Amino acid sequence: MALSAIQYQNLDDIRKWPQHIDENMRLYLVQQGQEVEICVEIRERFQQLQNLANKFAYLTPAILLDSDDTICNLDYASAEIDEQDFKLERHRLRTFIAATGNENKYNADSLELLKFIVKSKLEDTLPNIIIILRIFLTIAISNASCERSFSKLKLIKNYLRSTMSTLRLTNLAILSIEQDVCDARDIDSAIKDCS
């Protein structure tokens, strides 16, 4: 019994199935494994940020503006600020916000509260609250920008590392990380001046 060309092609296709199934299954398993790893890393990162937020819970406007001084737990900031000064600043802030009549407006968000303090020019009156609010609000951002900086360094290393010295790599990494500063300056004229 002779097989036609179409039948041979079908046999070839059938022989290739296990290979395609294996490749697709391997790709699926790798993607699924990466997906699980990514989910675990994201959960871990958010758990760390949640723990940090819990440590600084006394900076939420609901607690900061509460008249009960026992709610405020300064265990994590005791080295940076004096507890008595902080209590006085809390009292000043509560009094000022009550005088403006906007108690509900600033009770929702720490960032809005910080903007209100700066807009009202109370930085000199509430220095400890300002410092701690700024630190608290920039921790997550500094963490993410640090990771982004390292990923840029990795990209530069992978792309150009074989043909470059360590000094040049460092300088390119700084330029890449601080790209917004470089964009604001006229780099071409600086290069012409130096050469």
Domain boundaries, the chain: 54-142, 144-194
Task: Find the largest Cα–Cα distance for the chain.
Answer: 100
How many CA atoms does the CB half-sphere of 153 hold within 13 Å?
A: 12
Q: Which of 167, 100, 175, 92 is nearest to 127 (CA)?
A: 92
Q: What is the pLDDT of residue 75?
A: 61
Q: What is the pLDDT of residue 112?
A: 83
Q: What is the pLDDT of residue 79?
A: 64
Annotate 19-87 with DSSP letters as a single string.
Answer: HHHHHHHHHHHHHHHHHHHHHHHHHHHHHHHHHHHHHTGGGSHHHHT-S-TTS---TTTTTTS-HHHHH
Q: What is the pLDDT of residue 57?
A: 74
pTM: 0.49
Q: What is the pLDDT of residue 26?
A: 54
Helix (H, G, I), strand (E, B) or coil at 172: helix
Helix (H, G, I), strand (E, B) or coil at 153: helix
Q: What is the pLDDT of residue 78?
A: 57
Q: At what angle do helices 83-100 and 127-160 cross, to 10 degrees?
A: 100
Q: What is the pLDDT of residue 131?
A: 82
Q: Which of 142, 136, 134, 141 is nearest to 57 (CA)?
A: 136
Q: What is the pLDDT of residue 146?
A: 47
Give CA separation, 47 vs 21, 44, 54, in Å: 38, 5, 10
pLDDT average per 10 residues of sequence, the chain (195 residues) = 46 50 54 66 79 76 69 60 80 82 68 84 86 78 51 59 68 76 74 76
